[in-house]
Amino acid sequence: MYKRDLVSITDYSLEELDDLFRLADDIDNHPRRYNSSCNNLKLATLFYEPSTRTRLSHEAAMIELGGNIIGFSDAKASSASKGETVADTMKVMSCFADIIAVRHNLEGAAYVAAESATVPVINAGDGGHSHPTQTLTDLYTIRKNFGRLDNLKIGFCGDLKYGRTVHSLIEAMLRYENVSFVLISPEELKLPKGLKRQIEEHGAEYEENSDLGEAIRDLDILYMTRIQRERFSDISVYDKVAGVYILDKCKMENAKEKMIVMHPLPRVDEISTEVDNDPRIQFFEQVMCGKKIRRALILDLIERKAETPIKRADEEICINAECTNPKCITHHERGLKRKYKYGKNMDIFCAYCDCKVKEL
Ligand code: NCD
C-alpha cells in the first residue's frame, strides 16, 4: 500500500471529495467522537512563505483531532537558509512527523515534497501555481451555501495571473457539470493561457470582462482576490493595477439576492468594509469551513492508502527539454530529475509546475 498526498486538487476523485465533505460534516456534528483520533500523532507545518489562515487552520485542525504540531513559519529559521534542499528537508521531517503541510514560494515545490517525504504531504500553496486546501475550503463553502457544486456561474475578480487559489478552484470546478466562468481582471493580470486552454478543452463556457459592476449582475458566486504584490517582477506594473477593483455597496446592489461573495483572504482594499454585514458576504464563514475541511483532510490522509502510487508524471517521456517557467523549482533546486506529462493533443508539460516545456 502507498501513502496518499494532496499536491493537486485532482489527486482526489469526485467520489473521494464527497467522502471528505461528509467526513467534515460528521466531525462537525460529533466533535467528541473525533477528538482523540490523532492522539500521539504529529503534524509538521513547514511554511517557507508567510501565512495566517492556512498554517493556523491546519494546526487548529490537528489539535482538535487530539494530535500535536511541530514546524517552522519562516524559512530563515530553518536549514533552508544554509542551502538545504526541499527534498532533504522532507526526508528529515518524515523522521519527526506523521503528516506534513508545506508552503513554498517555488512552483512545483509541493510535488518535490510529496515525492521525497515518506509521510503524507499536503500542499499548502506552491508559489503562484496551486493551493488545493484553499480549494477544498472553497468547495465546502459553496456546497454549504448552494447544496451543490454544479450548475453555477462563478466570477473570478482581481489577480487571475498569480492567484493560485483561482487556478486550483477553476481546475476543481471544471469537473462539475455546467459550471461557467466570468474572468474579471485588468489586461496585465489575465488568467494564464494554459488554464484558459483547459477550460476550453473541458467544453466549459467562459467570458472575459474587465468591468466588475457589469459582470456582477448574473453571478452565483463572486470570488474576489488580492493583487499578489510579492509575485511581480516589475513593481511598476503592480503600482499600475493596485486598487483597480473595489467591491462596494453600490456594486453589490447590482448583484443577485442569492449571490455569495468569497475571498481566500487576506483582503487589502478590494472589498470595502462597508459591505461586511451584507448576508451575501461569506469570507469569514469560509475561514471556518477551512478549519473543518482540514480536520477531515488530515484524518483522511493519515488513514487512506492507495493500492498503486498516484501517477503525476508519464515516466516514459525521455526528452531533452527545459520547463519554460522561471519560478519552477526545477530551475532552483539541485539534483531534481526532470519529469514530464502529456496534456491533451500530446503536448508535453512539466510534471512539477504544469507549464509547457521547450525541447532543447
Ligand atoms: C491565499 C494564498 O496564500 O494564496 N491566502 C490563503 O491561503 N488563504 C491568497 C492570498 O495570499 O492572497
What is the phi/psi pair of residue 99, to 5°?
-160, 145
At 119-138, the pLDDT tens digits run 999 999 999 999 999 999 99
Which residue type occupies 160?
A: L
CA atoms within 13 A on the CB side of 183: 24
Q: Tell me the pLDDT band of 219, cut-offs 50, 70 and 90.
A: very high
- DSSP codes joined into one string, 72-112: ES-GGGSGGGGT--HHHHHHHHTTT-SEEEEEESSBTHHHH
**Residue whose CA is at the smallest distance from ligand 1 atom 8:** 264
Unique residue bearing C-alpha cell 509541493: 110
Closest CA to 225 of 309, 164, 137: 164
**Is residue 310 scored above 90 in pLDDT?**
no
Partnered with residue 43 across adjacent β-strands are 69, 99
| Ligand 1 atom at shortest distance from the alpha carbon of 225 | 12
Cell of 19: 467522502
184 Rama class: left (phi>0) / alpha (psi -120 to 50) / beta: beta
Q: Tell me the pLDDT band of 360, cut-offs 50, 70 and 90.
A: confident
User: What does the pLDDT read at residue 358?
Assistant: 85
Residue among 131, 137, 189, 291 whose CB has most ligand 1 atoms within 8 A, to mutate: 131
Mean pLDDT for 336-340 is 94
Task: Say if residues 141 and 294 touch (Cβ distance below 8 Å).
Answer: no
Using the mean position of ligand 1's atoms as its centre, give its distance from the Cα of residue 273 in Å: 19
Integer-rounded Cα radius of gyration of the chain: 20
Which residue type occupies 319?
A: I
User: What does the pLDDT read at residue 345?
Assistant: 78
User: What does the pLDDT read at residue 339?
Assistant: 95
Q: Is 53 a catalytic residue?
A: yes
Residue among 134, 135, 238, 263 whose CB has most ligand 1 atoms within 8 A, to mutate: 134
At 276-304, the pLDDT tens digits run 999 999 999 999 999 999 999 999 999 99
Task: Say if residues 310 and 5 touch (Cβ distance below 8 Å).
Answer: yes
* Whole-angstrom distance, CA of residue 339 vs CA of residue 346: 15
142 Rama class: left (phi>0) / alpha (psi -120 to 50) / beta: alpha
| Lowest mean pLDDT, pick from 105-109, 215-219, 314-318, 351-355 | 314-318
* Whole-angstrom distance, CA of residue 343 vs CA of residue 198: 9
At 247-283, the pLDDT tens digits run 999 999 999 999 999 999 999 999 999 999 999 999 9
Partnered with residue 156 across adjacent β-strands are 183, 223
Ligand 1: does its nearest atom lie under 6 Å from the Cβ of 103? no
**Is residue 359 scored above 90 in pLDDT?**
no
At 43-55, the pLDDT tens digits run 999 999 999 999 9
Task: Say if residues 64 and 28 touch (Cβ distance below 8 Å).
Answer: no
Other beta carbons within 10 angstroms of residue 56's beta carbon come to 16
Using the mean position of ligand 1's atoms as its centre, give its distance from the Cα of residue 276 in Å: 19
Which residue type occupies 221?
A: I
